[in-house]
Structure 1
Amino acid sequence: MTPPTADGWSICDESTGIAMILKITLLLIVSVLLSTPCLSAEPAMPSTAPGLVLKTLRRNHPRLMLTDPQLADLKATIARGDDALLTKCVRDVLHGADKCLRKEPLRHVLVGPRLLSVSRDCLQRVYALGLAYRLTGKEQYAARAVEDLLAVCAFEDWNPSHFLDTAEMSHAVGIGYDWLHSFMDAPTRVKIREGLVRLGLKPGLEAYEGARFGWWRKSSHNWNQVCNGGLICGALAIAEDEPELCGRIVSEALASLPKAMASYAPDGGWIEGPGYWAYATNYAAYGLSALNSALGTDFGISNTEGFDTTGRFPLHLTGPTSLYFNFADVHENARRGPLPVLFWLAKRFDDAALAVAGRAALEHHSADPRHLIWYVPAPDRQPAPLPRDAYFAGVQVACLRSDWSEDALFVAVKGGDNQANHGHLDLGSFEFDALGVRWARDLGSDDYNLRGYWEGNKPTGKRWNYYRLGSLSHNVPLLDNENQNCLAKAKIVRFVTDEDAALAVVDLTEAYAPKATRATRGVALRDGRTRLLVQDEFELAAPAEIAWGMTTDAAIEVSGNTAVLKLRDKTLQAKILSPDGAKFEVVSAERQPPEKPNTGVRRLVIRVRAEKGLTRLAALLSPVHADRPVPILPALKPLASW
């Protein structure tokens, strides 16, 4: 061994010494790096492994969505009395809770194959009664909520074959157990906890482990968020008593949920339409809110691309009539209500426009308990106005308007995918508002219990025989009075927005192949955004009948190439610009049972017998103002030149 020198270093050859110096230098660098905080790096993401995911669990109750410290802050704000809208929300919630006190007991009653109406009733009761108790301390609210919880926990099942029912009931019971934990005695807690495990969480684990009713765990639509969100709420409520089961549930949900969250990319649109946007996004918020309040993190899921802007999707899809662009399975004449999730999104992404929209809706609608849970005060400054026009590339929807007033012109048009969950055969469909009236409308969904309603993955599927779901009721062209190709997709290939005009062009070729080798639809707000032009171009492979159709509630008078529509003392003129000699006709949209009747609904139609080659159909829709003449007709351009 080489003897040490006076300074403690061993005498060695040059190469060994250099190696030793490098080694020591490296050790010093590593030591410094390990002891110095990294200012630019993201914090390490908590583990989602079943045995570790609950490591940061808040031990005390309530821990779901509204903790006691958060409730204390809310009460202090209420007590100040300087927010009239907040005072109204409290009044609305207490009124709703009082109504729940008078409701009949909950019973296990299926509607078709679903227990869903019972699950949702229970959920609404628990939120209303639970929040009323926590705000007022009045035990009558808590006692009735516990009565409802015990009733559903005594059910034979929560209908896992239609797992939405199980998930929503798990959500309800989880919230009730958590919020009323201190009110209940130990035996009552045991009964409710055991019911939640037996009827909700154990079937949930079976779903994650491959049970047939767990198909949703790999889906990319609303079922995913609802089932995962409901199970997250149920599991986090009782996690300290069932750590192994609940850890597995939360871990599996965290693995599954991103599959659906990815559907918001890239810009926040939702392919199932505005109705199911609300359902899916509500449950995304429930699950993420519960994770944050109970575990202190949502594991980065809220950072999913497009989720930060998704709150603007329903705003742009709402016309000046307050009616949605009603595509996919949405209720008839669906309006945007006071969506509580706008408050949650406004807080999470610091988006004052969502706060303003959410508060404005509450001026005319009753508040839901979730409005208080996620309440957002009026912003200090008014946000910049939303753009007049929007294009959602992820779902291929465009919305154009003249301005944001109640009498504005508004048109929305869609491409997308005819195989989208809850989709209709409606590629190219549009809806149109002007003068405060919805002139061109979508009839919405039909009865989900109709035979074959969900058989839509092939052209012969029974779903497409129902009038509201096939192409015949939608504001789309028809070739030889046939449905669009049910496997088709369509893309918006041009979207232009400027001061005086806005337009969108949709490539519909797949929808009409092989009869058409090219099919394109354009919609444009023209002449200072005062009129709507709808123009279709078909390159036909053989002669065919082309039918242009628009569904409306208006009374219609036709005279050759002109039609006058009247609704609620307002008037719209429709004019055929191409082809020459084409005429309008009116047909009924009414149907016989078991389909919905569509009473009084009409179709404004243009029928053209077209030869092989190019055919262009164009119709101009002009609101009629008593004090101004209808402008002269514009010259048409090929869609390729738009």
Structure 2
Amino acid sequence: MPIPELPTTPYGVIKESWKPWLEALEAWQPSREVLRPHLYQPAGDRKIVREKLSAFPTTIEQYRKAAESALEAEIPSPDEGLRAVGTLIGRAVACANWWLLSLDERAARRAWEISLAIMEWPRWVADEHLPLTIDLNSAAAVRALSNVLDRMSDWLQPDQKAAIANSLRDRGVLPFVAIHDSHGEWWTYSLHNWRSVIDGAFGIAAIAIRDTLPTDMVKRALKHSVIGVLTILDQGDEDGGWYEGVSYWSYGIGEAVQFMDVLQRVTEGKVDLFTHPYIGRTGDFCLYETWPDRRVHNWGDCGDRVNAGALMARLAAATQRSDWQAYVRKFPAAPSIDSLFWEDPSLPASDLASLPRAKRFRGTEVAVIRSGWADDDVIVGLKAGKTTANHSHLDMGSLVINCGSHCLVADAGHWPYAHSLGFFDLDFPEGARWDFPGLATECHSTILMDGQGQQYGEGRDAVIVACADGDDYAYATIDATRAYPNAARFVRYVLLIRPATIVVVDDLASPSRCRFGWRAVVPEVPVRGNSTKEWSLTTSDGSSSLSMRCLLPGEENGLLAEVSQVAASYPATNTRANPVCQTLTFSNLVRARQATFAVAMRVSHGTPLAPAIEVQHIYRGLQIHALDGGKETWAIMWGEPGVRKVSTTPG
């Protein structure tokens, strides 16, 4: 993505809107007397954590098992490679957690031994991030050491506490401040999750050892952290969306909220970043983009599952949003020491059925339209946006269809990072990133033009031009023309006729004769019906099915249908990757400069049922007739963004 102009002062340009928070930080006088533990709980009260967690015996048992595993495992040495330090980070915190809960001396000793190994590790930066001296791994390391110091302060001897504090100072806070002051590494002016994760973690480290640092150094570090977090919050869109997707939102905004919570607690509310306007909107993004079984709309590099219950609880508590509290009740997070005090139990949860059934996130340019909020209702997710967005795929105009716990039309899904193969080499067409089919257009439910997909670059964007919710229907319209190097027009209209019929109409044009490929990524093998235009698929458990009928172009004009599968195998950064992508593609047999595609789909529980849909060309547009129990008609007028319902004839 584009790199902002390098700031010329230690703190860059200070926005006017940030000044109240920065002035509050400047006025705050940190106490030199630190009563630990205090980062994630009322200061100095170990018993309150035990008492609160006593209501969750399953969680306590999980903490015990994690500590026992760490006690039994050998402590690796640096010659075993940098990956081992990530394991150490988790084990150190697991043992510190268990000591806080149980006062088990074995856990305390092992937490110290592991912390000592972390501190002695030559570097914390991942190989693939060199020559950086601070990265996401080192952020995790300073967070872990901060937690050990905070939770085990009563057990640690003065020299042990000093050793951890010195490591956090010399390998954490001081280099963090120096790099920020000089803008010496690219993450100091980045606009994505790295900024909030790093600035948040090192800000917590500065708070954790503020009794050992000069006050001006504490405030200098925290000023950089606050500016970094505010910078990231400012990148969120006006509806609460996040351009990297739901799982990176959960990570990047989640780490920002972790720091914000600690800062608010330690300053006794004097520095409260939860009053940022984005915090009042962003829970909507998670709420709408999460499916009933906790899977999410997983576009870009995102994974398909996110556990955001704790984050949503903190956001709901900060904003008193009862609809976000409904998410927390539906998807409760396992209690953790870090987020044990985040939920407001007095906040009631509203009925999700009262919420709108269509939502667009302007700026991020994704939308969700749904038949309702019940667990077995149909949900359609749509993706537009910028090809240059961090972690973006060439997926403009793509859609997914979900019903209950099943995805019926899918996204390519997360293809594991492979740094050594150029996974993040973005330049088009030479960048190796676009050689991965799961990142290119071919593994997304959108359009190919003569087998060619979209192109990465500035201006190669798509926008959702309309999204609306009616009584018995909803629709969204995407203009993805600019995402293609060889498109004169690609406008996609998606109409959801409640309860379970979807009609996708694509208005396509190319400067030269072209074979347009209407593509759907399908997780199950599709079965051909009585003709080339009719296909269906059924989930492996037989509970849900999808029937698809290509209405335009008709068979009388020549229609191709192809089922294909791409299977990959490659050495990913942390594992061996073997992703598979299966697609169904409809194409015009005879190449043309213009084409209209209309594909009707119907979701059923059990046996596939054909969609009762007809389409009819009208002057400068297309009519869609739904024939279930009468006749309802919608009209699309070329050049207009919306879909209009024009008539209803009872059966």
Aligned partner of 1:118 in structure 2 is 85
Aligned partner of 2:562 in structure 1 is 585
Deviation at 1:358, TM superposition (A): 2.9
Aligned partner of 2:6 in structure 1 is none
Aligned partner of 1:410 in structure 2 is 379
Q: Kindly indicate whether residue 614 of structure 2 is the aligned counterpart of residue 634 of structure 1.
A: yes
Q: Check conservation: 1:264, 1:305, Cα contact below 8 A.
A: no
Aligned partner of 2:13 in structure 1 is none
Which whole-Å CA distance do the structure 1 matches of 2:316 and 2:510 have between them? Answer: 49
Q: Check conservation: 2:78, 2:121, Cα contact below 8 A.
A: yes
Which whole-Å CA distance do the structure 2 matches of 1:388 and 1:106 have between them? Answer: 52
Write the deviation string for residues 570-609 of structure 1: whole angstroms up to 9, x where unpaired. 432110011112242211122344584334x421011225
Q: Check conservation: 1:171, 1:234, Cα contact below 8 A.
A: yes
Q: Structure 1 pair 199/629, CA: closer, same or farther in 2 (3 Å)?
A: closer
Aligned partner of 1:148 in structure 2 is 114
SS of equivalent residue, structure 2 residue 567: coil
Aligned partner of 2:268 in structure 1 is 296
TM normalised by structure 2 equals 0.82
Aligned partner of 1:597 in structure 2 is 578
Q: Check conservation: 2:433, 2:439, Cα contact below 8 A.
A: yes
SS of equivalent residue, structure 2 residue 143: helix
Deviation at 1:389, TM superposition (A): 2.4
Deviation at 1:567, TM superposition (A): 2.2
Aligned pairs (5 A) from 1:376-415: 376-377=344-345, 379-380=347-348, 382-383=350-351, 385=353, 386-415=355-384
Which whole-Å CA distance do the structure 2 matches of 1:475 and 1:628 have between them? Answer: 21
SS of equivalent residue, structure 1 residue 370: coil
Q: Structure 1 pair 299/371, CA: closer, same or farther in 2 (3 Å)?
A: closer
1:370 to 335, 338, 344: 338
Between 163-172 and 310-319, the greater mean CA deviation after superposition: 310-319
Which whole-Å CA distance do the structure 2 matches of 1:355 and 1:140 have between them? Answer: 39
AA of the residue aligned to 1:483: G
Q: Kindly indicate whether residue 47 of structure 2 is the aligned counterpart of residue 66 of structure 1.
A: no
Q: Structure 1 pair 402/130, CA: closer, same or farther in 2 (3 Å)?
A: same
AA of the residue aligned to 1:329: D
Aligned pairs (5 A) from 1:546-585: 546-558=516-528, 559-568=531-540, 569=542, 570-581=544-555, 582-585=559-562
Q: Structure 1 pair 240/370, CA: closer, same or farther in 2 (3 Å)?
A: closer
Aligned pairs (5 A) from 1:152-301: 152-159=118-125, 160-161=132-133, 163-210=135-182, 212=184, 214-243=185-214, 244-297=216-269, 299-301=271-273
Aligned pairs (5 A) from 1:534-545: 534-545=504-515
Q: Check conservation: 2:519, 2:586, Cα contact below 8 A.
A: yes
> Between Structure 1 and Structure 2, whose CA radius of gyration is higher?
1
Q: Structure 1 pair 70/420, CA: closer, same or farther in 2 (3 Å)?
A: farther
Q: Kindly indicate whether residue 346 of structure 2 is the aligned counterpart of residue 346 of structure 1.
A: no
Which whole-Å CA distance do the structure 1 matches of 2:142 and 2:597 have between them? Answer: 53
Deviation at 1:97, TM superposition (A): 3.5
AA of the residue aligned to 1:616: T
Write the deviation string for residues 182-225 of structure 1: whole angstroms up to 9, x where unpaired. 2211111111112112222232123202354x211211110011
Which whole-Å CA distance do the structure 2 matches of 1:379 and 1:553 have between them? Answer: 39
Q: Check conservation: 2:601, 2:611, Cα contact below 8 A.
A: no
SS of equivalent residue, structure 2 residue 235: helix
Aligned partner of 2:588 in structure 1 is 608
1:501 to 473, 481, 495: 473
Aligned pairs (5 A) from 1:5-44: none
Deviation at 1:234, TM superposition (A): 0.8
Which whole-Å CA distance do the structure 2 matches of 1:494 and 1:128 have between them? Answer: 49
Which whole-Å CA distance do the structure 2 matches of 1:609 and 1:109 have between them? Answer: 60
Which whole-Å CA distance do the structure 1 matches of 2:79 and 2:42 have between them? Answer: 34
Deviation at 1:91, TM superposition (A): 4.1
Which whole-Å CA distance do the structure 2 matches of 1:584 and 1:498 have between them? Answer: 33
Which whole-Å CA distance do the structure 1 matches of 2:37 and 2:254 have between them? Answer: 20
Stretches of 4+ moved more than 6 A in 1? none
Name the Cα RMSD after superposition.
2.9
Report which of the two has the higher share of strand.
Answer: 2
SS of equivalent residue, structure 1 residue 231: helix
SS of equivalent residue, structure 1 residue 563: strand
Deviation at 1:325, TM superposition (A): 1.0
Q: Structure 1 pair 469/299, CA: closer, same or farther in 2 (3 Å)?
A: same
Q: Structure 1 pair 391/123, CA: closer, same or farther in 2 (3 Å)?
A: farther
Aligned partner of 2:629 in structure 1 is none
Which whole-Å CA distance do the structure 2 matches of 1:529 and 1:57 have between them? Answer: 62
Q: Which runs of 5+ in 2 are unaligned?
A: 1-17, 126-131, 616-623, 625-634, 644-651
Which whole-Å CA distance do the structure 1 matches of 2:19 and 2:388 have between them? Answer: 40
Deviation at 1:468, TM superposition (A): 1.0
Which whole-Å CA distance do the structure 1 matches of 2:480 and 2:269 have between them? Answer: 44
Deviation at 1:419, TM superposition (A): 0.4
Q: Structure 1 pair 123/338, CA: closer, same or farther in 2 (3 Å)?
A: farther
Which whole-Å CA distance do the structure 2 matches of 1:435 and 1:64 have between them? Answer: 39
Q: Check conservation: 1:329, 1:445, Cα contact below 8 A.
A: yes
Write the deviation string for residues 61-85 of structure 1: whole angstroms up to 9, x where unpaired. 2231223366555555556x5xxxx
Q: Which runs of 5+ in 1 are unaligned?
A: 1-41
Deviation at 1:517, TM superposition (A): 2.3
Q: Check conservation: 2:317, 2:347, Cα contact below 8 A.
A: no
Aligned partner of 1:135 in structure 2 is 101
Write the deviation string for residues 289-315 of structure 1: whole angstroms up to 9, x where unpaired. 121122224734322222223223223
AA of the residue aligned to 2:578: P
Aligned partner of 2:646 in structure 1 is none
Write the deviation string for residues 213-266 of structure 1: whole angstroms up to 9, x where unpaired. x21121111001101001011111111211243332112222222111112231
Deviation at 1:473, TM superposition (A): 0.9
Aligned partner of 2:649 in structure 1 is none
Write the deviation string for residues 585-635 of structure 1: whole angstroms up to 9, x where unpaired. 211122344584334x42101122565553111211112456895352133
Deviation at 1:155, TM superposition (A): 1.4
Which whole-Å CA distance do the structure 2 matches of 1:199 and 1:215 have between them? Answer: 19
Which whole-Å CA distance do the structure 2 matches of 1:565 and 1:199 have between them? Answer: 55
Q: Check conservation: 1:555, 1:565, Cα contact below 8 A.
A: yes
Q: Check conservation: 1:127, 1:369, Cα contact below 8 A.
A: no
Deviation at 1:410, TM superposition (A): 1.0
AA of the residue aligned to 2:263: L
Deviation at 1:126, TM superposition (A): 4.5
Deviation at 1:132, TM superposition (A): 3.0
Which whole-Å CA distance do the structure 2 matches of 1:329 and 1:473 have between them? Answer: 13
Deviation at 1:399, TM superposition (A): 0.8
Q: Kindly indicate whether residue 597 of structure 2 is the aligned counterpart of residue 620 of structure 1.
A: no
**Sequence identity percentage:** 22
Q: Structure 1 pair 167/76, CA: closer, same or farther in 2 (3 Å)?
A: closer
Q: Structure 1 pair 593/55, CA: closer, same or farther in 2 (3 Å)?
A: closer
- Alignment coverage as a number of residue pairs: 583
Deviation at 1:372, TM superposition (A): 2.5
Q: Structure 1 pair 342/193, CA: closer, same or farther in 2 (3 Å)?
A: same
Q: Structure 1 pair 153/264, CA: closer, same or farther in 2 (3 Å)?
A: same
Q: Structure 1 pair 338/421, CA: closer, same or farther in 2 (3 Å)?
A: closer
Deviation at 1:138, TM superposition (A): 3.1
Which whole-Å CA distance do the structure 2 matches of 1:211 and 1:453 have between them? Answer: 26
AA of the residue aligned to 2:562: E
Which whole-Å CA distance do the structure 1 matches of 2:495 and 2:503 have between them? Answer: 5
Q: Structure 1 pair 381/426, CA: closer, same or farther in 2 (3 Å)?
A: closer
Which whole-Å CA distance do the structure 1 matches of 2:230 and 2:331 have between them? Answer: 30
SS of equivalent residue, structure 2 residue 369: strand
Q: Structure 1 pair 525/49, CA: closer, same or farther in 2 (3 Å)?
A: closer
Which whole-Å CA distance do the structure 2 matches of 1:479 and 1:184 have between them? Answer: 65
